[in-house]
Structures are given as structure tokens and as C-alpha cells.
Structure 1
């Protein structure tokens, strides 16, 4: 550990030249994507790029994000109940300054990438040290960090972190990440549909019948710029109707993403009578396809089963382009299971910087986390 150190960067232009080489295993720690964050992060977010060094050699890259929840216009407007109002009050007054070690904008283990193996004992201490350095950074700016969250680790890594420097942190499991491990024998959507039981094959046919009249088109950068106001309108409808939000995307986010990442970021528009009524986006990360933000017109969604058709289109894209798995994220988990995705539980770790409050962080977190009841679907023969 004495040879391992880190440096915090606040601008992409100052990163070491071999940053992308070290971050080769994850596109979302490479500079094209980080440039998207720098140019079009949510207005309440500040990003930090952390280099991990062995002596003077860069061996790892790490992303951290600070969120000021006081700047949010809304935490989400779908649920209106006493528990939600209490949660929102607590977040505004006692947990509004949140530091994430990791990426709060996408699901999955995307906090760091390493070019050489670092023992979990060393790595867990490094993550703690990074968070402490950023807490001091904000303290010097007159900002008190309330909560630190170490985000999204698969079980094996979480267990090893817990055995080391994360042993005093509260481990939590939010809604499962819905992941579809694609059958390697599928090469077309016909193979996919043939694998369904009759019930889910009928669902597929019914959804496609409802979709009749809507045209899907992949959008170029010029298309995204032309439709960006409408894209934002559709995105905001879905985002505001989510049960809880910690950020809203910047208005230029989708065009910036397309400009910076090109074919690694795909955006598809759904048109009815030449009007954009929905869109979905995909991130191409080596052999993994990751779903990103989407939006839709609510009336079209209800009448034409637009969301379900989007899920089918994402799956068919993954099959036809030979991805090994699709990460669908944590929302709408029951309907995602109906198209083939399965739940994968991931762990996060959290602490409150007030030592007294931190003693009760587990009970507080459990009381604020919404109860989720759902039935996993099993659509295949």
C-alpha cells in the first residue's frame, strides 16, 4: 500500500496521457465519455476524475460525483404519500450534499478500472482515502458533505471490501439490476421469439400489433440536434414521474453524448405520423450493451405499448449485434423480467459524516427505501 497513491483531477484536459489505456476495460471511464460529463453533466453535479498510481505509474482510474440535491426542482412526482414527503424533507435538510464514489448515472460496477490487480484490502482503503480527500476539498469551499455512497459492486467484490476497510460501512441492496445474459445460439429476433413460451410469444405478438404505425429510426447527430427539444420534453416526462431522482440531465446531454462517443452511443427515435413520440438510448461497452435514458409520450405509451416495444427493440439489437449481455438497470423490473432479464443484486456502501447520525444509518435507510413487491417472470421454455 505504501507504493499506491492517488491524484484528483477536475478537468479532462489535465489527465495523464495514458488514461484511456489504463481504463481500456470500461468505456465509461475513458475520456470520450468523461468529456460528456464535463460538457453536459446535470446542473447539480460536479465530477472528479481520480488517477491511481503505483509509485509514479498510472495503474487505475476512478470516477467520483458530487450532487447538490438542494438544486433539484423535484425529487420525482409519481408518488405522493406521507413517507415520500418525509423522505424528501430529510434529503433536503440532512442529506442534500452527497458524494458518490462511482457513477450515479448508470447501473453496474463502473466506479473504477485497473490495469493491474490491486488487493481488495488496499483498494478498499484507497476508496475511503479518496472520499476523505474530497470531503476536505468541499470543506475548504464551505460545503459540508452529508453522505458518502460507494456505488454498485457485484457480490464478490462487496464481500471482499466488507472484510477490509468497508467493515464499518452500512451495506445496502437497492432494487436489483436487471441483466439479460443472451443465449449464444441466438442470431436473430426469430430465434429469440421462438424461445418464448406461448404466453410470452403471444405478449410479443400483441405488443408488435399495438406498435403498428410507429416507425423506429436511428438518429444521427444532426437528427439529435434537430429533435433535441422534443427529446428533452419526452425525457423529462418520464424522469419526473419516477419515484425518486437525484438529478436531471442537461438540455444538451444527448447531442453532447452523440458528438463525443459517436457509434458507441446509439439513440433511436419512435415516430408516429412523422412526430417523435418516444426515444431510447444504448451504450456499447465492449461485449456488454447498456440501456440508458429514454422518454415517451404517455398517451402513445398507453395505447401502443411503446415501452414494452422499446425493450424488445433493445433486446433484438443486442442479439443481432452479438452482445453477450444487456444491462437494463433498476426500473420497471417486472416488465423487464417478462422479456428475459433476470435480477442481479448489487451492493452499495453508505455513511453519514455525522457520527451520531451514522450510528442509525441502517435503520434510517431501511425506513426511507420504498418497499418493492414484484413477481419475476420466466418467459422461456
Structure 2
């Protein structure tokens, strides 16, 4: 265990289990599922290739003020894909020639955030704290953490994902030579308080989009949807994993592969707060959805799709409507669809929420070049749809 207080007023831990009950109680962060021990432990337990660490910031009285979830991964620059494939390929080549990224070995990347979830789920700040000060202390603590363990050999640091309203705080990272950039936005749907059921949602739509929804339900009428439980998940996981990999391989930006074995723990620990459903055609799984219910939000997690059958049976379109129906039935306020497939998500009512990341290279000269590289990475453009009546 690495656990020490230093001049940056920080404690370092290498596992959730090492953080004391006293610290958890002082932070009072577990009303947010993403900072619950069960959730963090489930991710940690099922991803042995990732190095997990946790930073707890403390004040002068040794009282915890913030918690940051740290993951260290091997990131391949080829993990960045975009519709502008030719441009990205050129940028990759330039980055390699300038030795920003290694030629053959992956980049050793330290991430403060959640590798497998979009949104501000990596840094928890206790109430009544100066958030700008906390961000500065976190940046110092990360540097101290890396310098104190020579075995880490970190190439770069990434802090993710911050909404626009937080940028006046997180822009303090620029003073520590971090460079902001954006990839795909989170597509977010606000659930209207007047939608008591899915029919109310359909009634709020323009005719064109309502017809499209009814067509998707007609196409998918043969599909059977089943709840995945802690008891029946084992037999379904192999096929779910195959379907997930097909979707992940199409993503424009992917920091790492999610191990679906994690679903066993999440379903067991979070129960009804973790949504998991499989889509069947006869005796074959052709898709699945997963999601986290966190306070008054439903956050779509990963999905799997049989692309060969998707067009004929409108599998993905049906999944989007099912997410919406779940959110309405559970009387939630927000549905976060996450990144990817922005246009089709906008056709069901979602709007883009920009998410900013901050990246810095460990070496100063490469970091200055990195800034130019990041300025070229832009979210994939898409045509925003407006399906609701005014």
C-alpha cells in the first residue's frame, strides 16, 4: 500500500479496500454511485491490466476534502478514430515523427476520471470547499504521486470529462501545463415532467419522428426483451461480450476495453440501480443495453448490437426508446446517452453536452508540441435533429 501524507496534503491508496471507513464517512460521497465502494471495487476487480490508485486530498486538520479515482492504462494512438480518417492518420504520423507518442509501444497514460463512463465521475469534492484550490492541489498531488514511484514511468496525464459549467474551475489546470480538448459530446435528454408514460413522450413529438418511432417498434416486434439478473447472467455473458466488441470497434474514441464480467458484480451490488437487458430473436441474443441509475439520472453504459440484423429489426433504435421508457417509468430527470452515434440520438430528443478533457505530456518540449496536435482533434460533426413540437 502507498499511503502517505506529503507537502501537497494528499493520501495515496492502491485499492478501494485500503481507504479507511473514517475517510469514507468524512467524504460522504457514496450517495453518488460512481463514488461508492461497491462500484469502484467492481471496476477495479475486473480490470487487472489497469493500475488503479486513489488520491484523497486532506486539509491542514487532516480532514478529507476530495477523492480522485486514478487509472493508469496503456493507450495506443490508434485508439483515436474519426470520420476524418485521412486527417487523423496524418496527425498520428506527425505525432510519431515528433516523438510525442511512442512508435511501437503504447503511451503510458494516467487518467483522473472514470475510463468507462462519460461525465464528471472521477473527482469528488466535499461540500464547502474552494473547488479551484482543490483542482490545483489535485494537479500537484498527481505530479507528486508519479515522482514518488519511479516504476510508474508515466508519459502523459489526462483529466476527464468536464461540462462547460465547470471550466471556470478546471481551467486552473492550464497553469499546470494541461491542454484542453474535446472529443464526442455526451448526448443528453431531459425527461419532461409531463411525460407520465412513453405514450406521452410520443405525443410530444412532431409527426415525422413519431412515425419513425412507431416504425421501429413495428420492425422490432419479433424481438423479445429480457431482464438480466445476477442468477441468469453467466450463460449470457459470452455472447454479450461478442456483441459489445463489435460496437467498441466502431467507436471514434475509446480509452480501453470494458470487461463484461464486471456486470456480475454491478448487478449483484447495485441491484435495480444497474439496468441490464438482453434482446433476443428466437433463441439468439442480438443485443443488450446496460445503464446506471444515479440519483435522478439514467446513464446509458455499454450496449451490444448484432449489426447484421440491426437494420432489418431496428435493434439500436428500439434500444434508445427503451432507455427513454425506463427513465420515464422510474420518474428520472435526465437520460445521459453517452458518446457516439450523436445524430440518431438527437433524433429521439437528445442534445449535445460538451465534455472537455485536459491532457499534458510529462516532458515539457513534447507537451508544447502536443498542444498543437490536440487543437486538430475535433468532435465528429453531425446534423442535430429537433423531434419535439415547439
TM-score (norm 2): 0.88
Pair 245,347 (structure 1): closer, same or farther in 2 beyond 3 Å: closer
* 1:47 and 2:55 aligned: no
Tell me the residue number matched to 2:316: 307
Q: Deviation at 1:88?
A: 5.8
The superposition leaves residues 169-200 of structure 1 with CA deviations (integer Å, 9 ceiling, x where unpaired) of: 21212222111111011110011000000010
Cα distance in 1 between the residues matched to 2:84 and 2:181: 24
* 1:99 and 2:110 aligned: yes
Cα distance in 2 between the residues matched to 1:135 and 1:359: 20
Cα distance in 2 between the residues matched to 1:301 and 1:76: 25
Q: Deviation at 1:378?
A: 0.4
* Number of corresponding residues: 373
Q: Deviation at 1:148?
A: 0.8
* C-alpha contact 1:10 1:49 (8 A) present in aligned 2: yes
Tell me the residue number matched to 1:337: 346
Pair 251,334 (structure 1): closer, same or farther in 2 beyond 3 Å: closer
TM-score (norm 1): 0.90
The superposition leaves residues 198-247 of structure 1 with CA deviations (integer Å, 9 ceiling, x where unpaired) of: 01001101111110100111110122112111111111111122234221
Q: Which runs of 5+ in 2 are unaligned?
A: 1-5
Q: How does 1:143-292 map to 2 (within 5 A)?
A: 143-162=152-171, 164-167=172-175, 168-292=177-301
Tell me the residue number matched to 1:38: 44
Pair 65,265 (structure 1): closer, same or farther in 2 beyond 3 Å: same
Q: Deviation at 1:92?
A: 4.9
Pair 19,307 (structure 1): closer, same or farther in 2 beyond 3 Å: farther
Pair 121,373 (structure 1): closer, same or farther in 2 beyond 3 Å: closer
Q: Which runs of 5+ in 1 are unaligned?
A: none
Q: Deviation at 1:59?
A: 3.1
* C-alpha contact 1:69 1:92 (8 A) present in aligned 2: no
Among 334, 351, 362, the residue aligned to 1:353: 362
Which shows bigger deviation, 26-35 or 250-259? 250-259
Cα distance in 2 between the residues matched to 1:124 and 1:59: 11
The superposition leaves residues 244-289 of structure 1 with CA deviations (integer Å, 9 ceiling, x where unpaired) of: 4221122522223223322221100001102111000010111111
Tell me the residue number matched to 2:11: 7
* C-alpha contact 1:124 1:166 (8 A) present in aligned 2: no
Pair 77,360 (structure 1): closer, same or farther in 2 beyond 3 Å: closer
